[in-house]
């Protein structure tokens, strides 16, 4: 039932690395607590996410991709706040100690950690049904964190990247649609190894009036911004179809692809708002962070999300059930 001594050594072997390089980390893994020192004038940003086998991933997933994703979804929360990553803890329940699995998982985890100069500073390993819980710590200049509140009527609404591909992969994975090899690989990469938009989040400090990351579905997550800000939104229903190749649109139909755009989750893109006058500055932030950004609509004084067509006419919103706060 337990994990044996030699197995703890093995786990140590994969997770206990040399002295951390992030300057905020003053005592890393191995004591009762890790010690960190955010820079003067900085607030600490903290977020936790738990991934459960069978719900967030299948036992057959490549462990390196799982290691990447477990950290990516947490880094995405820091990105949505405009925080700079410092450190993370990892608590891991394992049904058994499998060196191959641990080697793959830790490789994927640390590749992404190193890319963001974020250090594993502590955690826990125990025996149990496979479960990963990561807590990330970042820092942001006091008062400059991006939150869900702050969107104002007239603000433009933007989204990064290509939201919808992760859901497209899920539909293919579930056998509801068939994709050719190239499209499947592209979609699968979005689902299994999302890129947390940390650089964009940093570039949006002092610029975005609100921000959130897309985990549950674009309109649902935008709904959190609207609720926290006390405003509504007008969204161009076809605004994100252009990212899909014409062959895919012909094969699958635009209805499915619109659903993937607006109701698909697991993309970990950023949805944010900015004053209309800041349009050039947003373009610059996108360029500086090498992150594609697209305007998808506008904040309104009302409430709820209203879909419009290219000519500005209202459309029925079939994704209402994904918008937790629409009234």
Considering the complex, what minimum distance in angstroms separates the CB of residue 55 from a second copy? Answer: 6
170 binds a second copy (CB under 8 A): no
Q: Are 252 and 236 in contact (CB under 8 A)?
A: no
Q: Are 43 and 145 in contact (CB under 8 A)?
A: yes
Q: Are 274 and 208 in contact (CB under 8 A)?
A: yes
Q: Looking at 70, 71, 145, 219, which residue binds a second copy (CB under 8 A)?
A: 145
Is beta strand 119-127 parallel, antiparallel or unpaired with respect to 84-94?
Answer: parallel
Q: Are 76 and 196 in contact (CB under 8 A)?
A: yes
252 or 273: CB nearest a second copy = 273
Q: What would the x/- binding string for a second copy be over residues 114 to 133, using CB under 8 A?
A: -------xxxx-xxxx-x-x
61 binds a second copy (CB under 8 A): no
In angstroms, rounded to a whole number, what is the distance separating the alpha carbons of residues 191 and 65? 10
Q: Looking at 27, 97, 111, 275, which residue binds a second copy (CB under 8 A)?
A: 27
In angstroms, rounded to a whole number, what is the distance separating the alpha carbons of residues 60 and 125? 21
91 binds a second copy (CB under 8 A): yes
Q: Looking at 21, 48, 59, 247, which residue binds a second copy (CB under 8 A)?
A: 48
Considering the complex, what minimum distance in angstroms separates the CB of residue 34 from a second copy? Answer: 5
Q: How many CB atoms lie within 10 A of CB 150?
A: 17
Q: How many CB atoms lie within 10 A of CB 208?
A: 28
33 or 181: CB nearest a second copy = 33
Q: Looking at 119, 162, 192, 213, which residue binds a second copy (CB under 8 A)?
A: 213
Q: Which residues contact 148 (CB under 8 A, 6 or more apart)?
A: 210, 211, 212, 224, 225, 227, 228, 229
78 binds a second copy (CB under 8 A): yes
**By the criterion CB under 8 A, which residues form the site for a second copy?**
1-2, 5, 26-27, 30-38, 40, 43-50, 52-56, 77-78, 80-81, 83, 87, 89-93, 121-124, 126-129, 131, 133, 135, 137-138, 140, 142, 145, 147-148, 211-213, 228, 324
């Amino acid at each position: 039932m337990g994990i044996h001594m030699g197995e703890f050594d093995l786990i140590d072997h994969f997770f206990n690395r040399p002295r951390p390089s992030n300057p905020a980390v003053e005592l890393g893994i191995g004591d009762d607590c890790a010690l960190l020192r955010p820079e003067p004038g900085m607030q600490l940003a903290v977020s936790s996410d738990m991934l459960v086998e069978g719900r967030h991933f299948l036992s057959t997933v490549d462990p390196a991709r799982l290691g990447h994703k477990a950290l990516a979804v947490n880094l995405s929360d820091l990105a949505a706040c405009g925080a700079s990553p410092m450190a993370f803890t990892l608590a891991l329940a394992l049904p058994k100690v499998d060196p191959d699995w641990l080697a793959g998982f830790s490789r994927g985890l640390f590749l992404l950690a190193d890319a963001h100069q974020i250090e594993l500073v502590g955690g826990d390993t125990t025996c149990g049904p496979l479960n990963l819980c990561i807590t990330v710590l970042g820092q942001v200049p006091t008062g400059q964190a991006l939150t869900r509140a702050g969107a104002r009527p007239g603000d433009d609404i933007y989204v990064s990247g290509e939201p919808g591909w992760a859901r497209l992969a899920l539909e293919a994975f579930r056998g509801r649609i068939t994709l050719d090899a190239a499209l499947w690989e592209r979609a699968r990469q979005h689902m299994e190894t999302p890129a947390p938009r940390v650089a964009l989040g940093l570039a949006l400090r002092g610029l975005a009036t609100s921000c959130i990351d897309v985990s549950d579905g674009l309109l649902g997550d935008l709904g959190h911004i609207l609720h926290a800000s006390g405003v509504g939104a007008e969204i161009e229903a076809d605004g994100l179809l252009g990212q899909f190749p014409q062959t895919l649109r012909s094969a699958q139909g635009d209805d499915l692809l619109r659903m993937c755009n607006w109701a698909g989750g697991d993309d970990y893109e950023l949805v944010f708002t900015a004053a209309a006058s800041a349009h050039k500055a947003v373009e610059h932030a996108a360029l500086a962070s090498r992150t594609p950004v697209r305007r998808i609509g506008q904040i309104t004084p009302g409430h709820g999300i209203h879909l419009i067509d290219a000519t500005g006419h209202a459309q029925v919103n079939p994704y209402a059930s994904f918008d937790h706060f629409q009234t």
